Structure 1
């Protein structure tokens, strides 16, 4: 019996090649898209699954809520003291380790090279975060300070081999030259890892932070990652429920001036499993870029929608073809076939089509997978066997798609009555059915297509807006030199700036702690007369030339001046009590942006000029608050992502905190960069040169948004293609069923354009109705997405109207040519047997 069903099914496909091609191609596209997207979704949810004992390994994260604005800042970093006190106060915490990101210089044979993605840790890091080792013992590799572990790739890069246990690696960091002994080699982390590391070195924190002892005791100093290993069976939620009481026990109030301050008032701590870091709520100060869990789920929904559209095509075309198989069904019933057998036959044929489509889909997926992986910068793999094999899911998908696409047509076909179908002069095209379900399904298909087109247009427009909106400074003509604050160049910093100023094409040079997308965050609480709470303002160092170098407009007052001693807040480092006391007594001048002026209570920029506020520029417990006089107000500038609110900002001159060098230039960018690099190597040959153009930094900042727009565009195109395939097939078969009607209309005088208009209108109505469904859904989704940006485009009607018009134009173009061919046919061919 099943052999007969298979034979009939194959013959049916061979007899109707156009139907078979449309069905198989539509299903194949939908399946291939579904496979690729679900591979990406699975990849995103498998981050850090390779770590040993991952179920008991957690990261301690800080969650801030500003009392002034209510803004939330969820960051993966936390303070050093939080980790030490957590281990001390909770016996459920078996082990803990603090990791600090560092960019030291590696010295080898007198040559200095940059080292990126380096972690300085205070304990046996790999005993907690259990990476697989290639050489060495993870439990003892970092047992002592002065030991270092490299990845396989980094070992080969630095030494040419992984057989380097016992060798010495020399690094310069914080102005000190330190020797580390290689004690282990870890396997290269996979792409789906939240740990972006190449070298992990153990330090003694007491000596390492001897110049800044407050680093180890200040609860508000968020500058590293704390990882803990809980004892087996520990419930992290139960442990976390005790954190509020733990905060009160450990974080004491501080009296700063006349006000009380507590570092725990605005922040809470959470334990997050390492496998949940990548898609977790906290993405600020991440070791490597994470992703948004909602975005991943959105792509999964899109994959299922595209697959559902392909199934809708199958259902539509199968029910439209019902008239062509009515006589077959009737004859089978006359010969004794029951309804169950007929349903089994047609569902089996549907599964056969799904199986053929799956083979085509797998071929497409294999061909597109390398391109898709490179585009996402991911390592997606399509394996059929093993723990992560997809063979069983593929078989299940074939069955589900086959049954979902064929079940309703099977019920429709199997209910035909033989007497009505086989009676004399009954045309096969006269089978009953209004086609209402087909119209509903077409509406659903185009609603999805239109919704994706709208989302694509809005995402693209917002991405372009983010890159082109006025940030408050001049983006063009800026070269940003990183790691300008390295301690080994401290004594040559001014000489280096003078040398770069003499480079052809360079117009301005300024050291700063705030540049384009610099990741540092530094803020202080300011005491305002008459207010009982501090006002938090971001405080950064910058040379007096920085405002002009960035091209920022002054709104009131003046810029900082090198010739005015009160404009200089520089004090020796390490701390000098005499200099700090002198600064606290005399005060310092500063420039603020317009937002900071408003936060400080001034109605206009001019009102702020000449006013004095107080803050702890130096140790306030010893020297009291420092008076800060505002001498100028500059325009607000957006240096970070458009998702992040603009910082209220205060700029002071402090040469010790200028970590970035901003160079304003004219002329050929590459030539200027090369000349600056030569000047750098002339003055500081022992420090590597790293510089980026501001345009490149901004482009990289929004690379993820641009990639998301491109992915949505690709999905929208696939959805439209699948929808048009179904629409074309449906129009073809519907026109065949209406051949006699069209012939009669022509005999009665209807012109070709009248027939074309009739057919085009019939298939355009579902597209118009689809707009009514797609528009409100897309508006709701995009409004929520745009609200995640601090500055955004207006959600106007243009993308909705354009998407609707484009979908209608595509639908008309799809069916128009076929309608024209049908309308021009000679009516005698339709009516010759009547």
Structure 2
């Protein structure tokens, strides 16, 4: 019996080639999309699960869920003192380590380079995170002045990975430190939130001897804290004790006569390292993370695309029901039961799904590498093992086969032999199936239109983010890094003067905040009449920063080098005596419009001359500052991030970046700036980027998301059009006699084409009514995640609807034209 069913199924597929090809292509594309997205989801959820003992390893994160003003903020970093206290206060803790981001300088063959992704540890990292050691010992970092390297970094620096016992010299904080390399670890895979080329261990109290505040500052989140718990310990129990732990450890500070405590706004939480990549804390991450919403979106899109392929299968099967009505009737006359007929038709569906999944697997293997390259992910495609695709592929066969075959099977098997054979209904319209097909076609195109709308809006927001006025002149800027190196202390002004003489350079400024820098420095400002301080961003700039960035002064003036009160330069190292003297003297500051509003001013001019208390350090109390100027709000970061309320402090030293405004050939200017840099600063690497490149990198994730949506939208449209083409072909064939009669009675070819096109255009028009509100609701929430966003106008909705309708018309018009031009004699001659 089963052999007979298989023979009948193969014959049915071979007899109706168009139907079979459309079904196989649609299902294969949908299944391939599912398998590729499954590979991506598995990759995203596999981060750091390869770490041995990772179930006991946690990252200590700092949360600001309810700040006095501004949105919640979640940070992967924590303060140095937090690591020290959590190890002391919780007996469940086995070991801890504090990792500080570092980019030391390596001098090799007379050339200086920046060592990327070198971390400075205060303890034994390998006792907390069990990285695979290739050479050396697991106790490689058990003492200061030791180091571990990844294999690729060892080869890059020494030409071999056999480097255990060698010495590596790094310039850090202006001094040269020698480290003994005690181990070489395997390169970390891409599915890790860690980004490490080397780890060096230092004694932090001596390393920060000139910056003692770093060792006790609870508000200085500059590095990452990792905690390893003893087996069987409960991290949730520790997290529940965190509020009490904060009260025990974080002291109150006197700020302008009032009480201030760093724990009032901050919370600390232990998070398993396997959850860091998809956790809610993404600020301060070593590598860009992701969110569970994006993963869920991918999964939903995969299901929708596969559903569209299954809809094609169901639509075409019910459309062909009339063709198989006589076959069903004859089988029933010969004794076949309805159960047997259902089994046969479901078997045919499973056979189609099996063939389709084989094609899908082939497509997936061909596309996995470009897909992985596009996503910058280490995706793999195998068939066996924990991440194998064989079981998911078989599951797809069963699910798709049953979903696509059950309804047609029950529908076909219900035909009554007497009515079918007596009326010769083999080519008649199958009763009751047209409405269902219309509903399914509407659903298909609703999905397609919604994806097209999402693509248009994501792309539009990306363009908007790049082109919106940031409040400063973003073009023609070369931003130079490494200005905060200790080797440059006291040499900044000399370097600026030399840069100004480079041909093409218009202005030079120094700053702590430039084009999309990652620096974050906040402070409290006391406002007369308010009990709580106002949080503002505090950044140092020199007098040339305004012209270099192209800032607009809307009230008052900019910093003047001839006015001593405009200068808050402190000689490094900053001593408590220097700070107290500066606080006692006071200073002039420039703020932006947003800061003026937060300080209570209705207009920028209103705040000029007002004095406030600005937090400088925990020891000295607030410094009286007078606002002498207000500049236009400038968005230095991504439009996703809230606008910064900023107070600018004038200084001649201590900034992190140099901003160079130029005119003329960018390459020539960069070459000139680099030449001057190397002549003046031979022991600090030159690193610079043009503002255009920085902004492009800033919105690369949004652009990639737009491309992903575009790819899925194209797949959805292709699958929908395949089904529409198949339905049009069958409908035109069924209405051959009707078309012949219409032509005999005088209908023109254009009339026939218009009739057929309109029949299949109506579902597309109705699909817009379903797609538009859903897409509007989804994209409204997505746009609301941006601090500045494009307006949600009807344009993308109308364009998506028009595009879908055009594609549908083009899909069926050619076939309709061919049918309409046929000689009516061929359709009527058997009468």
Q: TM-score range by the shorter chain?
A: over 0.9
- 2:135: which partner in 1? 135
Q: CA deviation at 1:427?
A: 4.5
The CA RMSD over aligned residues, in Å, is 1.4
Shift of 1:434: 4.1
Aligned to 2:770: 773
Return the alpha-carbon distance in structure 2 between the equivalents of residues 310 and 38 of structure 1.
Answer: 17
The reply to whether residue 794 of structure 1 matches residue 791 of structure 2 is yes
The 3 A distance-change label for structure 1 pair 404 and 782 is same
Match of 1:668 among 662, 665, 669: 665
Conserved in 2, the CA contact under 8 Å of 1:327 and 1:428?
no
Q: Which residue of 1 aligns with 2:150?
A: 151
TM-score (norm 1): 0.98
Matched, 1:524 2:523: yes
What is the DSSP-based 3-state SS (H/G/I as helix, E as strand, rest coil) of the residue aligned with 1:441?
A: helix
Deviations 1:223-281 (A, max 9, x none): 11111012222222222111111111212221111221110111111111111111110
Q: CA deviation at 1:157?
A: 0.2
1:556 match: secondary structure? strand
CA distance in 2, matches of 1:434, 1:113: 71
* Cα distance in structure 1, aligned partners of 2:68 and 2:491: 41
Counterparts of 1:397 and 1:424, CA distance in 2: 40
> 5 Å matches for 1:205-220?
205-220=204-219
Report the equivalent of 1:329. Answer: 328
The equivalent residue for 2:282 is 283
| Map of 1:53 onto structure 2 | 53
Report the 3-state secondary structure (helix = DSSP H, G, I; strand = E; otherwise coil) of the residue aligned with 1:718: helix
Matched, 1:633 2:666: no
Paired position in structure 1 for 2:114: 114
Q: What is the DSSP-based 3-state SS (H/G/I as helix, E as strand, rest coil) of the residue aligned with 1:572?
A: coil
Shift, 1:291, TM fit:
1.0
Please state how far the C-alpha of 1:18 moved relative to its aligned partner: 0.9
Could you tell me whether the CA contact under 8 Å between 1:421 and 1:431 is conserved in 2?
Answer: no
- Taking the aligned partners of 1:567 and 1:402, their CA distance within structure 2 comes to 76
Q: Which residue of 1 aligns with 2:461?
A: 462
Structure 2 Cα separation of the partners of residues 541 and 57 of structure 1: 38
Kept after mapping to 2: 8 A contact 1:259/1:534: no
CA deviations 1:77-112 (Å, max 9, x no partner) are 111111211111111222111111011101335432
Q: 1:285-317 CA deviation, whole Å, 9 max, x = no partner? A: 111111121011101110111111011101110
Question: C-alpha offsets along residues 786-830 of structure 1, whole Å, 9 cap, x if unaligned?
Answer: 010000011111111111111111111111121222222222222
Alpha-carbon shift at residue 180 of structure 1 (Å): 0.6
User: CA-to-partner distance for each residue in 1:189-221, whole Å, 9 max, x for gaps?
Assistant: 111110011111111111111111111111111
- In structure 2, the CA distance between the partners of 1:308 and 1:424, relative to structure 1 (3 Å rule), is closer
Q: Is the 8 A contact 1:492 1:683 kept in 2?
A: no
* Counterpart position of 2:568: 569
Is 1:180 aligned to 2:152, yes or no? no
Query: 1:431/1:521 Cα in 2 relative to 1: closer, same or farther (>3 Å)?
Result: closer
CA distance in 1, matches of 2:424, 2:71: 76
Q: How far did residue 426 of structure 1 move?
A: 4.3
Deviations 1:614-659 (A, max 9, x none): 1233x453x4431111111101100111011111101112334211
Q: How far apart, in 2, do the equivalents of 1:522 and 1:600 lie?
A: 18
Aligned 1:31-70 pairs, distance under 5 A: 31-65=31-65, 67-70=67-70
SS where residue 95 of structure 2 aligns? strand
Shift of 1:424: 5.8
In structure 2, distance between residues paired with 1:252 and 1:349? 74
Corresponding residue of 1:74: 74
2:649 paired residue among 638, 641, 652: 652
List per-residue Cα deviations over 1:163-196 (Å, max 9, x = no partner). 0001111111112211111011111111111001
Describe the SS at the equivalent of 1:265.
coil
Q: Which residue of 2 aligns with 1:252?
A: 251
CA deviation profile, 1:426-471 (whole Å, cap 9, x unmatched): 4432543341111111111011000000100000000100011000
**Counterpart secondary structure, 1:769:** helix
| Structure 2 gap segments, 5+ residues each | none
Question: Corresponding residue for 1:309?
Answer: 308
The Cα shift of 1:496 comes to: 2.0
Q: Aligned to 2:735, which of 726, 735, 738?
A: 738
* Aligned equivalent of 1:811: 808
| Comparing 66-75 and 345-354, the one that deviates more | 66-75
Taking the TM superposition and a 5 Å limit, the aligned residue runs for 1:380-779 are 380-423=379-422, 425-617=424-616, 619=617, 621=619, 623-779=620-776
Q: Provide the residue aligned with 1:92 in structure 2.
A: 92
Query: Does the CA-based 8 Å contact 2:42-2:387 persist in structure 1?
Result: no
**Cα distance in structure 2, aligned partners of 1:728 and 1:427:** 22
Give the SS at the match of 2:299.
helix
- Deviation string 1:749-791 (CA, Å, 9 cap, x unpaired) is 3332332222212111111111111111111100110010000
SS at match of 1:651: strand
User: Greater CA deviation, 146-155 or 490-499?
Assistant: 490-499
The separation in 1 between residues aligned to 2:66 and 2:664, in whole angstroms, is 44
- Tell me the alpha carbon deviations over residues 383-433 of structure 1, each in whole angstroms, 9 at most, x when there is no partner: 112232111211121121112111111111111111222226544325433
Distance 2:186 2:634 in 1: 43
Say whether the 8 Å CA contact 1:492–1:684 is kept in structure 2. Answer: no
How many pairs are equivalent?
831
| Alignment-derived partner of residue 125 in structure 2 | 125
* Equivalence for 1:367: 366
Distance 2:316 2:563 in 1: 82
Q: Distance in 1 between the 2:3 and 2:727 partners?
A: 30
Q: TM-score, normalised by structure 2?
A: 0.98
Q: Say if 1:113 and 1:688, in contact at 8 Å, map to a contact too.
A: yes
Deviation at 1:45, TM superposition (A): 0.8
